[in-house]
């Protein structure tokens, strides 16, 4: 099999390649499901990991992105993104097998050993990432980016649901019936994840690659090009602020549910599945809107919703009745799935869109390197804050006292992790304000999108009503902070809704 790029790909080759990339996504998702997220956190908690170590584990996938400079050098030297991506992917998945075998044979290995080995997993994955992104940019037609990757995402999330639910039942059943050590189950998961990851690399090895354009000049001047691009620099500022805000809190959601709420793996995975289902049900819709209007508009819609989700986490556990807390968790995870589907898809697409074809590897690597720094610092800072607030709390109550009836209503109760969630919500709100400065080709003003959605409602597409309201939410936040008074629209604006194509 020749791995040399081809100057021109036929439509048949493109379609075949896009199918293989879906296979790659499914295999990669299986690997991610088994070896990250809830199962990784649960495993290291069994190995007595502390908050700082959990934050460090959360930051590893991002801080290793600084090594994407090697990706730029390799692409410039060999101009073969497929070979680099496949070889590095194989090297990245081998450490997962090693961790699984070590736990299987030596049981309680130090958390530091797991972190050390996972470093190489993320190191080689960071080199493969920019090559894969630039390769996909040239392989998938630009007018299909949103639709194609939303479809691919829905497939991978559906697989995540099936595997996650089945694995959670196996873990809890093993734990409750003491069939074998719980650590043995996690060892098996890492071995299975490593095998799935290697299968993903094999799918990529058969995917055709169009010949890419190699940038000229020394490496320093090349890396400065994205930073000199004013619009791309604005995207970097927004993206960095956004990931910093989110990563203060998100690594500790699972820890909070396990340690403070006492929920089992099955419950946590069940809520994750609800989030995934909501993401699956909406990601294609976000993809269609992104292709039709702009990725920036989708982010402006979804980001305020995610901020509300972060605030909602502050109220989990505040109720004495357990079913109310579980109901709130259900709503939170549903909102997370809906908002993250649009945010993640649009952030990926807008980065691809603002990257020149001949310098896409450089632009994407620069973005990943810069955001990696903030993504790494945030969970470490979050772990420090969690320890700091572990001995502190803040309660705001409303009390009613009468001759026959007394009632105390808990308005807010902050402690340890919930302090993180509220801080993250505030920082995320500040980050959203930075999105205004980013300009996107083909960008459609939100008032036009609003008219289109309301026009569709009149055409019996009622499912878009919620989106139309969320579009107004970010504007409402900005008006509240800046104390602007927005005049009422004239009646002729409402009449124009029927004339919008």
Write the DSSP string, 413-470.
Answer: EEETHHHHHHHHHHHHHHHHHHGGG---TT---HHHHHHHHHHHHHTT-GGGHHHHHH
Q: What are phi and psi of 406, to 5 degrees?
A: -130, 140
Q: How far apart are CA 44 and CA 254, in angstroms?
A: 12
Please tell me the total count of domains within the chain. 2
CATH number of the domain bearing residue 89: 1.20.1250.20
Q: Does 53 map to a domain?
A: yes
Q: Does 6 map to a domain?
A: no
Looking at the structure, do residues 244 and 146 belong to the same domain, yes or no? yes
Residues 422, 423, 429, 432: is their CA dihedral positive or negative? negative
3-state helix, strand, coil in the chain (%, to 5): 80, 5, 15
Q: Does 435 map to a domain?
A: no
Looking at the structure, do residues 103 and 250 belong to the same domain, yes or no? yes
Neighbouring CB atoms inside 10 A of 150's CB total 25
Domain boundary pick from 342, 358, 389: 389
Answer for the pair 139, 22: CB distance below 8 angstroms, yes or no. no
Looking at the structure, do residues 489 and 375 belong to the same domain, yes or no? no
Q: How far apart are CA 401 and CA 406, in angstroms?
A: 4
Looking at the structure, do residues 338 and 452 belong to the same domain, yes or no? no
Predicted pLDDT at 29: 93
Looking at the structure, do residues 106 and 188 belong to the same domain, yes or no? yes
**Nearest CA-CA partner of 235 in 108, 140, 371, 329:** 371
**Domain span including residue 176:** 11-389
Predicted pLDDT at 35: 93
Predicted pLDDT at 396: 82
Beta bridge partners, 202, equal none
Predicted pLDDT at 299: 87
Q: Does 197 map to a domain?
A: yes
Domain boundary pick from 374, 389, 404: 389
**What single string gives the DSSP state of each residue in 247-292?**
HHHGGGHHHIIIIIS---HHHHHHHHHHHHHHHHHHHHHHHHHHHH
Q: Does 167 map to a domain?
A: yes
Looking at the structure, do residues 375 and 456 belong to the same domain, yes or no? no
Look up tokens 């945030």; give the residue.
378
Looking at the structure, do residues 471 and 352 belong to the same domain, yes or no? no
Predicted pLDDT at 490: 44
Looking at the structure, do residues 313 and 450 belong to the same domain, yes or no? no
Predicted pLDDT at 219: 67
Beta bridge partners, 302, equal none
Looking at the structure, do residues 378 and 451 belong to the same domain, yes or no? no
pLDDT tens for the chain, 501 residues long, are 567 878 888 889 889 999 999 999 999 999 999 998 889 999 999 998 888 899 899 888 888 878 877 887 888 788 888 999 999 999 999 999 999 999 998 878 899 999 999 999 999 998 998 888 888 888 888 778 778 888 888 899 889 889 988 999 998 888 888 777 888 999 999 999 999 999 999 999 999 888 877 666 666 677 778 888 888 888 899 999 999 999 999 889 988 998 888 888 889 988 988 998 888 888 878 888 777 777 888 888 889 999 999 999 998 887 778 888 899 999 999 999 999 988 988 888 888 788 776 677 678 778 878 888 898 899 999 988 988 988 888 888 888 888 878 887 777 888 888 999 999 999 999 998 888 888 876 555 555 555 554 554 344 334 444 444 444 545 555 555 555 444 444 444 444 444 444
Q: Does 412 map to a domain?
A: no
Instruction: Tell me the CB-side half-sphere exposure of residue 408, using CA atoms within 13 A.
Output: 9
Q: Does 48 map to a domain?
A: yes
Looking at the structure, do residues 271 and 385 belong to the same domain, yes or no? yes
Looking at the structure, do residues 163 and 287 belong to the same domain, yes or no? yes
Domain boundary pick from 368, 389, 410: 389
Looking at the structure, do residues 373 and 450 belong to the same domain, yes or no? no
What's the DSSP call for residue 210?
B
Q: Does 146 map to a domain?
A: yes
Query: Alpha carbon of 330 to those of 153, 273, 275, 333, 335: distances in Å?
Result: 22, 10, 8, 5, 9
Query: Alpha carbon of 351 to those of 110, 148, 205, 212, 434: distances in Å?
Result: 38, 16, 25, 18, 16
Predicted pLDDT at 217: 62
């Amino acid at each position: 099999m020749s791995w040399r790029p081809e100057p021109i790909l036929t439509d048949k080759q493109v379609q075949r390649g896009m199918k293989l990339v879906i296979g790659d996504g499914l295999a990669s998702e299986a690997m991610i499901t088994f070896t990250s997220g809830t199962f990784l956190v649960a495993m290291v908690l069994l190995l007595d990991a502390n908050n700082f170590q959990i934050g460090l584990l959360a930051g590893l996938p991002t801080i290793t992105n600084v090594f994407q400079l090697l990706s730029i050098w390799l692409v410039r030297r060999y101009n073969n993104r497929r070979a680099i991506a496949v070889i590095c992917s194989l090297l990245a998945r081998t450490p997962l097998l090693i961790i699984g075998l070590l736990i299987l044979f030596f049981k309680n290995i130090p958390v530091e050993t797991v972190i050390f080995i996972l470093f190489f997993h993320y190191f080689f994955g960071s080199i493969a990432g920019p090559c894969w992104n630039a390769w996909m940019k040239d392989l998938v037609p630009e007018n299909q980016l949103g639709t194609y990757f939303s479809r691919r995402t829905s497939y991978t999330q559906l697989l995540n649901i099936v595997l996650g639910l089945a694995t959670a039942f196996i873990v809890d059943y093993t734990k409750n019936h003491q069939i074998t050590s719980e650590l043995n189950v996690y060892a098996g998961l890492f071995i299975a994840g490593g095998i799935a990851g290697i299968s993903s690399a094999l799918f990529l090895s058969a995917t055709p690659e169009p010949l890419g354009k190699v940038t000229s000049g020394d490496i320093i001047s090349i890396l400065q090009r994205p930073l000199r691009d004013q619009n791309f620099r604005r995207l970097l500022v927004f993206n960095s602020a956004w990931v910093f805000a989110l990563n203060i809190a998100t690594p500790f959601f699972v820890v909070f549910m396990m340690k403070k709420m006492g929920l089992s793996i099955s419950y946590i995975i069940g809520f994750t599945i609800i989030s995934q289902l909501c993401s699956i049900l909406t990601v294609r819709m976000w993809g269609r809107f992104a292709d039709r209007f702009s990725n920036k508009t989708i982010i402006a819609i979804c980001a305020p919703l995610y901020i509300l989700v972060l605030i909602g986490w502050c109220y989990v556990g505040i109720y004495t009745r357990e079913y109310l807390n579980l109901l709130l968790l259900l709503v939170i995870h549903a909102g997370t799935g809906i908002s993250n589907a649009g945010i993640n898809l649009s952030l990926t697409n807008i980065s691809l869109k603002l990257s020149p074809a001949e310098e896409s590897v450089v632009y994407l690597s620069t973005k990943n390197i810069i955001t990696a720094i903030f993504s790494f610092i945030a969970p470490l800072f979050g772990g420090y804050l969690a320890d700091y607030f572990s001995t502190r709390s803040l309660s705001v109550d409303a009390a009613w006292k009468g001759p026959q009836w007394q009632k105390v209503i808990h308005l807010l109760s902050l402690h340890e992790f919930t302090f993180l969630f509220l801080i993250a919500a505030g920082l995320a709100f500040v980050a959203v304000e930075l999105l205004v400065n980013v300009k996107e080709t083909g960008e459609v003003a939100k008032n036009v999108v609003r008219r289109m959605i309301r026009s569709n409602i009149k055409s019996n597409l009622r499912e878009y009503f919620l989106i139309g309201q969320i579009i107004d939410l970010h504007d409402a936040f900005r008006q509240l902070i800046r104390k602007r008074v927005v005049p009422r629209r004239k009646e002729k604006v409402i009449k124009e809704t029927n004339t919008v194509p």
